[in-house]
Structure 1
C-alpha cells in the first residue's frame, strides 16, 4: 500500500469475553500471533437516554423534527448511550414526571425546542438527570436556516454539548473526515470531505492526478496533502474557508509525501525520498524556512504523526533491514527511535499507517503477518509493543485515524460486498459503515470544528 500516513502499501486494555471469542472462532477470520482481540477501555458506561419529541414555536415547528433526528443519530453514533426508542405518546407533554421516566428505565432525558428568529432559528436543549430528578443543564444554540450549508454542523455542535454535559468529555459529531477517492472512469484520485455521520459528501480538490495523505491543521481550517499535480509528489496546503492552495517549497530535491501538522499549527513534518539522503523533515511553512532533518538513512522513514503534546513523533520505517515496515516513536526533534509494533525476528509482520490518539497515550495502525489482509491495531505507547490489541477481524482494514474524542477510529475497509469507509468504537467494539461501495484511501479525521 502507498497511502496517507503510509506509503508502504485513560483506560486499560482488556480481552473480549469467552462467548465473544467463541463467536469469532465460528467464522473464517485472520488473527495476528501475539496480538489479542480486545477493547481499549476496561468499562464503558452506557446509560439509557430518552429523547422527548422536540417542539417548536414562532415558526420553529418546521425545523424541530429535523433537528431532533440529527441529534438523535449523533448521540447514537457516539456509542455512549443506550438510546430508548418507541416512547409512549403520554410522555410528550410539557411537564417532566421523573418517577415515570425512571420506571421506564431512563437515566437521562433530553428535551428540545426550536424557536424561529427571523430567517434563523434558536435551539433550546435541556438535559435532565432522571435518577436525581433534576434539570442538569440547559443551553441555547443559534442555528442557521436548514437550507444553509452549515446547518447540520451547527446541530452537530449542540449534540457534542450533550455528550460534554453528561460525561465531561469531548464529542465527535461536529467533525469531518478527509480522504482520497478514485474518480470513476479515470486514474485520478482527489480529496473529498464527509461529515462524521456520513452526510454532506463533497469534493475538495481538482488536480486531475493522484492526491494523497490529507492532514488537518490543529484548528481545522487547513488541510495539507501530497499531490502529483506537477508530475512529482509535492506538499500543498489548502485553506478551507477560501479554497486557496499553495505548494510549499522547502528547497530540497526528492519526492515529498505524508505531511503532518505539529500542534503549533505552523510546523509540518513530512517524508522526502530521493537519490540523496532520505528521511523525515520538519519545516515551518508559515515562515517558509527551517527545513530540519529529523530521521533518515539508507532505509525509508515515512508517515510521521505528532503526539498531542508535540514532543514525540510516530512513523514507519524499514530500518530493520527487511522490506516490511514497522512502527516507531521518537522525540519530535529527532533522536533514537523505539519500536512499538509487535516485531518478532522469525515473523516480523507488516505494520503501517500510525496515528496518535488525542487522549490516552495510544497509537493506532494497521498490520498483518502476511501481506494482503490487514487489521486495525492499537498499542499503548508506554508498553513499547509488548501489548497490542486487535480491533477488527473481518475482511481487510487499513489506515486508521482517531476522532477527537479519542475513542473512535475511521478506516478504509473491504468486505465481501465491496469497499467502504468504516468507524469503530474502541470502547464497545461497535462498528458502522460510514460510506458504502466507495474506493477510498487514507481517511483523516478532523479536530472538533467549533465554528464561528
Structure 2
C-alpha cells in the first residue's frame, strides 16, 4: 500500500507540474466600459464562398459585441470589414476599418471552418476592445444520459463543436477551470465522492482528492497549483485549500455551518463562497490565508453559485428574488460597497452563471418548463440568446483565455 501511494504521489506531482507549466501568463486587461448599444459593423466586401461568409456573420452576431448592418448599408457602419476567404485551409484575411481609428489587418486559419471564424472574431475583438480570446474558448457543462448518469461535455458559444470530456459511466459533475488547459470536476462512483483533475491538452485525468466523506465544489486556482474545495473530514462541511504539488491541505473554515462553491478573486488572494451561517445560503469573502470571513450584504434571500471575472473584477451569482424566481445578479467588486444589479429580467429560473473570458458576457442555465438550456447573457445590455434549445444541461463553466 505504501509503495502504491508513493508511486501515485510521483505521478500526481508530474501531472500537476505539467499543468502548471502549460499555464500561460495572463494579459492584464480590465473591461470597464458601459454602453447603451453596440457599434455597427458591416462586411463591405467579401471574396470567397458563401459558407465562409455566412459562418463569419453568425459568429460576429453571436459574440454580442456588434450590431450588424446589411451589406447595402455598409457605408453607414462604424466598423467596416473587407474579407478574403480561401476555402482550402479555411483561411480568413481581414482588413478592419473602424471609424476614427487606423485600419488594421488580421488573419485566422484552422482546419475547421467554425474554429477559423472564432479565431478571426477573437482577433477583431482583441484589436478593437483589448479583450482576451473569447469565441474560441469552450464551455464545459453537465449532461444527463441513460440511467441518470451524468457526463461532462463542452461546446462553443454558438452550441457547435460538442465534445465529450468524461466517459465514467457514473455521475461526473461540477466542472471548473483553472487555466485553459486544466479542469477539475466531482466524480460520484461506488458510493464515494472524489475530485478529478483533467489535463485538457494531453487528455489525462488524475484523482486529486478522495478523503473519506464529502469531496466536492472544487475550484482550481488560475495558475493550476492549488484547489479550493469542500471536505467533510470530521463530519462537518468546511473549505480547504490544497497545494497540488506538495499534496498538502490547509483548513480555511472550521464551524458548524455548510460551506461550498468557492471561486477565486482576480488576484487569487481571496475566495468568494457560499455558507448557510445565517440560515440561508449567502455569499462570503475569505482570504486564502484564513482569518475572519466577511459576508456580502445582499439582503436575506438565497444567494448561490458565485463566479468572479478576472477581467472585469465583477462577481456574478444566482439569487432568489422575492417572487421566488432565481435571477442572475452582478456586483462590481471595485466598489467599496458594491450593489447588486440584476441582469436577467425574463421568465424562468436563471442559475449557475460563469463569466466568459471577455468579462462582459456570461453563460448560465435557464430553467423553463422541462428544459434546462444554456444561455449567453450580456451583462452590459441585459440581453440574452440561447446556446441550446430543449436540452437538459447544468453547471456550465467557460474556459479562460489563458
Task: Give the TM-score normalised by structure 1.
Answer: 0.76
Answer with 426-435 or 200-209: which moved more. Answer: 200-209
Partners of 1:341 and 1:175 in 2: CA distance:
33
Partner of 1:22: none
- Are the equivalent residues in 1 in contact too, given 2:149–2:169 (CA < 8 A)? yes
Partner of 1:410: 363
Partner of 2:16: none
Shift of 1:410: 0.8
Partner of 1:26: none
Structure 1 residue corresponding to 2:194, chosen from 208, 225, 234? 234
Any runs of at least 4 consecutive aligned residues in structure 1 with deviations exceeding 4 A, and if so which? 369-372, 382-386
- Cα distance change of structure 1 residues 43 and 141 upon mapping to structure 2, 3 Å threshold: closer
Partner of 2:89: 120
Partner of 2:314: 362
Q: Tell me the alpha carbon deviations over residues 131-179 of structure 1, each in whole angstroms, 9 at most, x when there is no partner.
A: 45x86111233332x4xxxx42233111111112222223521111111
- Cα distance change of structure 1 residues 187 and 121 upon mapping to structure 2, 3 Å threshold: closer
Structure 2 residue corresponding to 1:162, chosen from 113, 119, 124? 124
Partners of 1:328 and 1:261 in 2: CA distance:
18
- Cα distance change of structure 1 residues 426 and 291 upon mapping to structure 2, 3 Å threshold: same
Counterpart of 1:75 in 2: which secondary structure? helix
Q: Tell me the alpha carbon deviations over residues 279-313 of structure 1, each in whole angstroms, 9 at most, x when there is no partner.
A: 1111122x251211122311111111101211111
Partners of 2:305 and 2:175 in 1: CA distance:
13
Structure 2 residue corresponding to 1:198, chosen from 159, 172, 185? 159
Partner of 2:6: none
Q: Tell me the alpha carbon deviations over residues 7-36 of structure 1, each in whole angstroms, 9 at most, x when there is no partner.
A: xxx688xxxxxxxxxxxxxxxxxxxxxxxx
Structure 1 residue corresponding to 2:178, chosen from 217, 220, 237? 217
Partner of 2:77: 106
Shift of 1:53: 4.7
Q: Look at both structures and tell me which one has the larger radius of gyration over its CA atoms.
A: 1
- Are the equivalent residues in 2 in contact too, given 1:79–1:428 (CA < 8 A)? no
- Cα distance change of structure 1 residues 206 and 371 upon mapping to structure 2, 3 Å threshold: farther
Structure 2 residue corresponding to 1:319, chosen from 257, 263, 277? 277
Counterpart of 1:401 in 2: which secondary structure? strand
- Taking only aligned residues, the RMSD between alpha carbons, in angstroms, comes to 2.4
Partners of 2:371 and 2:217 in 1: CA distance:
27
Shift of 1:70: 2.6
Partners of 2:83 and 2:208 in 1: CA distance:
47
Partners of 2:336 and 2:235 in 1: CA distance:
31
Partner of 2:327: 375
- Residues 1:51 and 2:43 are matched in the alignment: yes
Structure 1 residue corresponding to 2:51, chosen from 60, 66, 75? 66
Structure 2 residue corresponding to 1:272, chosen from 216, 226, 231? 231
Shift of 1:207: 1.6
- Are the equivalent residues in 2 in contact too, given 1:306–1:332 (CA < 8 A)? no
Answer with 167-176 or 292-301: which moved more. Answer: 167-176
1:376-395 paired onto structure 2 within 5 Å: 376-383=328-335, 387-393=339-345, 394-395=347-348
Q: Which runs of 5+ in 1 are unaligned?
A: 1-9, 13-40, 57-63, 89-99
- Cα distance change of structure 1 residues 411 and 354 upon mapping to structure 2, 3 Å threshold: same
Shift of 1:341: 4.7
Partner of 2:8: none
Q: Tell me the alpha carbon deviations over residues 429-450 of structure 1, each in whole angstroms, 9 at most, x when there is no partner.
A: 120010011111111011127x
- Residues 1:421 and 2:374 are matched in the alignment: yes
- Are the equivalent residues in 1 in contact too, given 2:312–2:360 (CA < 8 A)? no
- Residues 1:255 and 2:229 are matched in the alignment: no
Partners of 2:323 and 2:297 in 1: CA distance:
16
Counterpart of 1:153 in 2: which secondary structure? helix
Answer with 70-79 or 227-236: which moved more. Answer: 70-79
Partner of 1:139: 106
